[in-house]
Amino acid sequence: MAENILVIGGGPAGLNAATMLSELGVNVTLVERDSFLGGNPKKFKYKFLFPDMQPADNVIGELIKKAEAAGNIKVNYSSEVSDFKENGKKFDATIKSADKSEIKTFDSVIVATGFEHFDPARDAKYSYQLFDDVIDIKDLERMMGENNLLRPSNGKPPKKVAFILCVGSRDRHVGNQYCSRVCCTVSVKQAIELREHFPDCEAYIFYMDIRTYGFFEDLYWKSMEEYDVQIVKGRVAEITSGPDNTVVCKGEDTLLRGPFEIQFDMVVLASGMEGGPQSPEISKKLGIELDEHGFLKPENVTLSPFKSNKDGIFLAGACTGPKAISDSITEGAAAAMNAYTYAVKNR
């Protein structure tokens, strides 16, 4: 008889885990709280992905197609695990949607509940939601996905845009000390896209450290060499309104200018990634550990980053911390392998 494995979360990590398991002949139950698959990249309509600017559809669309085509993946949309109990080496889970609720026994479980975007309104100094032209990177992804790169305040093309890094990350005031890892690269990518779209529009990036780690550095170099993106070292201390419907970024350029107050048409906040409400919820429901950053905690961050502290429950993707899609996909495969091995051993 085929194994039954539960995958919670239908983003890149969960989709790849489900697909790999289905290829091994496992009966997969995929639980997704949204009414669609694809996770955050789908929700916010990412258009082109770093590092190579390939269309997001090549990746996310592909993952969704494979999962939907597999005969042995049962996708439960708009649903959640409402009750969860250990049953010897197996697990009994109640899967609940708006109109029904069903109890099933699983041999093992993969948690791939992902992340939430930091809400920049929580950091008042950036005046998000106060000024129409202050947006964040997920808003800009969505705007680009909808082919609309115009200023929200007046629908005109922007002439000068600032990207502010580390919003909601590396700041004790908002409770997040960690680095969100992808926002530097996302911002550099978006600055390039903006300059490509509006060659007359200037783009500035205000940074503390540029963390385009590994090969992502290529994009950073390219942004300066080919797109003349202005890179200014200094974290913006305040955003206020300026004359002629502009927003003013105020701060210290720690290398060149000293104090600055620069007017922009549009400001893009590089808000980071958080464990969201789902991480503590899942942690409580499944009895797995939460870490001090608000993400799910792997049994051993280096040796077994895809294992929870509970035998038979595995972790994949951004639910254990900020990471890129490639890492999430890799972890989905690793978790699938481990969940399968556990299931077979305890057959």
Ligand X SMILES: Cc1cc2nc3c(=O)[nH]c(=O)nc-3n(C[C@H](O)[C@H](O)[C@H](O)COP(=O)(O)OP(=O)(O)OC[C@H]3O[C@@H](n4cnc5c(N)ncnc54)[C@H](O)[C@@H]3O)c2cc1C
Binding residue (CB under 6 A) for ligand SF4 from 15, 30, 270, 318: 270
Task: Provide the mask over 150-179, with x wherever binding to another protein is found by CB under 8 A and - wherever it is not.
Answer: ----------------x---xxxx------
Determine if 183 is a binding residue for ligand SF4 (CB under 6 A).
yes
Binding of residue 19 to ligand X (CB under 6 A): no
Neighbours of 4 (CB within 10 A): 18
Indicate which single residue of 28, 236, 267, 315 sits in contact with another protein (rule: CB under 8 A).
Answer: 236
234 is an interface residue for another protein by CB under 8 A: yes
Give the binding range for another protein (CB under 8 A) out of 3-11, 69-77, 227-235, 286-294: 227-235
39 touches ligand X (CB under 6 A): yes
β partners of residue 73: 28
- Please report, as residue ranges, which positions from 88 to 127 form the binding site for another protein (by CB under 8 A): 125
* Residue 193 interacting partner from ligand SF4, another protein, ligand X, none (CB closer than 5 to 8 Å by kind): none
- Backbone φ and ψ for 236, nearest 5 degrees, come out as -70, 130
117 touching ligand SF4, by CB under 6 A:
no
In this structure, what token pair is assigned to residue 175? Answer: 């409770």
The residue among 173 and 284 lying less far from another protein, judged by its C-beta, is 173
User: Scanning residues 62 to 121, which ones bind ligand X (CB under 6 A)?
Assistant: 80, 112-115, 117
Binding of ligand SF4 by 209 (CB under 6 A): yes
Residue 89 binds which one of ligand X, ligand SF4, another protein, none, with CB within 5 to 8 A depending on kind?
none
State the angle between helix axes of 12-23 and 62-69 in degrees (0 to 180), rounded to the nearest 10: 40
Residues in 182-221 that interact with another protein by CB under 8 A: 208
Please identify, using beta-carbon distances, which residue of 34 and 123 lies nearer to ligand X.
34
Per CB under 6 A, residues contacting ligand X are 8-14, 31-34, 39-41, 46, 49-50, 80, 112-115, 117, 137-138, 141, 182, 186, 273, 278, 282, 317-319, 323-326, 328
Per CB under 6 A, residues contacting ligand SF4 are 165-166, 169-170, 179-181, 183-184, 209, 211, 270, 272
